[in-house]
């Protein structure tokens, strides 16, 4: 795997790591750009360890901007192939950090924006038992899950109503398909938001994650 910068933040000293949150940035962004978002999540989950890796695409390396997979000539025909090509590296990264922080897969959450959200969605679709939940902002599946697909993660989709880069239609379709597959899914459309992360969008994502964790706990108690 390429050796891009990885930022790691352990929980405050009074907390042991009980969750692992892996933040995957958008296309042309950096791991650093996700730090404010990561701290917003940690404020709601003080026992979470935060990991913010840099994109793997070597063509984007050297400059400030990073990508997870090549974007030059990207289209609906080659998107799935390009995303799945990086999933082994994503799995290696997540498994390594789970070992590093002593956190199990069911307490691991992938949180991604745009291209990073697509990678997160495809990772839990393709790699069984990788993470317990995904929070995907302004993202889409590279290829919608097919009938009979088993996804053992909760999926929280947050999308700007005015997103002209990744249409909200992708999130709406994903929510319908996941629901039909009996995958726990939430979809929040944020008014007056384009292809961006806002205070409200970040809050909604962390709130849905918190609600999903509590619902999961309640289900195991019954």
Catalytic residue numbers, as ranges: 114, 163, 195
| Residue 219 structure tokens | 């289900």
Furthest-apart CA atoms within the chain: distance in Å: 52
How many other C-beta atoms are found inside a 10 Å radius of the C-beta of residue 1? 12
What 8-state DSSP symbol labels residue 54? P
Cα separation, 82 vs 78, in Å, equals: 6
Three-state secondary-structure class, residue 144: coil
According to DSSP, the residues that pair with 52 across neighbouring strands are 7
What is d(CA 208, CA 196) in angstroms, rounded to the nearest whole number?
18
Dist CA 187 CA 212 (whole Å): 13
3-class secondary-structure state, position 31: helix
């Amino acid at each position: 795997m390429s050796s891009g910068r990885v930022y790691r933040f352990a929980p405050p000293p009074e907390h042991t790591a009980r969750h692992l949150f892996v933040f995957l940035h958008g296309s042309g962004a950096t791991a650093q750009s996700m730090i404010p978002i990561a701290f917003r999540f940690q404020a709601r989950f003080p026992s979470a360890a935060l990991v913010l890796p840099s994109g793997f695409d070597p063509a984007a390396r050297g400059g400030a901007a990073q990508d997870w997979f090549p974007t030059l000539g990207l289209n609906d025909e080659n998107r799935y192939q390009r995303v799945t090509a990086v999933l082994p590296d994503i799995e290696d990264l997540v498994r390594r950090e789970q070992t590093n922080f002593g956190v199990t897969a069911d307490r691991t959450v992938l949180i991604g924006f745009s291209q990073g959200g697509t990678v997160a969605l495809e990772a839990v679709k393709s790699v069984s038992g990788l993470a317990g939940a995904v929070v995907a902002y302004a993202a889409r599946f590279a290829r919608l899950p097919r009938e009979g697909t088993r996804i053992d993660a909760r999926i929280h989709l947050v999308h700007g109503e005015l997103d002209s880069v990744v249409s909200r239609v992708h999130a709406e379709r994903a929510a319908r398909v996941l629901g039909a597959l009996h995958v726990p899914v939430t979809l929040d459309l944020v008014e007056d938001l384009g292809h961006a992360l806002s205070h409200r969008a970040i809050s909604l994502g962390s709130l849905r994650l918190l609600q999903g964790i509590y619902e999961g706990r309640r289900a195991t108690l019954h």
